[in-house]
């Protein structure tokens, strides 16, 4: 888990409802998130996670069922 607190008020006036989320906060968090994600993709792990307990099995459709699939129905 990663947590971050940013001060995005370049004009220095508190409670004026003018914050720089779009120009400072979001770009910084995007870059930080991508940097951490890329690091985690390449990092060697001593213990690899075993997620088989969370694997979902889905029912298969009966081949004799000729009702249309939701994805095949036109809008």
Contact between residue 9 and residue 20 where contact means Cβ atoms under 8 Å apart: yes
* Burial 27-43, CB ≥16 within 10 A → b, else e: eeeeeeeeeeeeeeeee
25-72 confidence digits (pLDDT tens): 899 999 999 999 999 999 999 998 899 999 988 877 788 888 887 777
* Greater model confidence, 22 or 1: 22
Contact between residue 21 and residue 8 where contact means Cβ atoms under 8 Å apart: yes
């Amino acid at each position: 888990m990663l947590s971050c607190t940013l001060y995005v008020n370049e004009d220095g006036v508190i409670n004026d409802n003018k914050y720089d989320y779009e120009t400072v906060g979001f770009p910084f968090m995007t870059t930080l998130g991508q940097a951490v994600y890329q690091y985690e993709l390449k990092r060697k792990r001593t213990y690899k996670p075993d997620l088989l307990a969370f694997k979902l099995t889905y029912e298969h459709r009966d081949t004799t069922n000729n009702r249309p699939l939701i994805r095949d129905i036109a809008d």
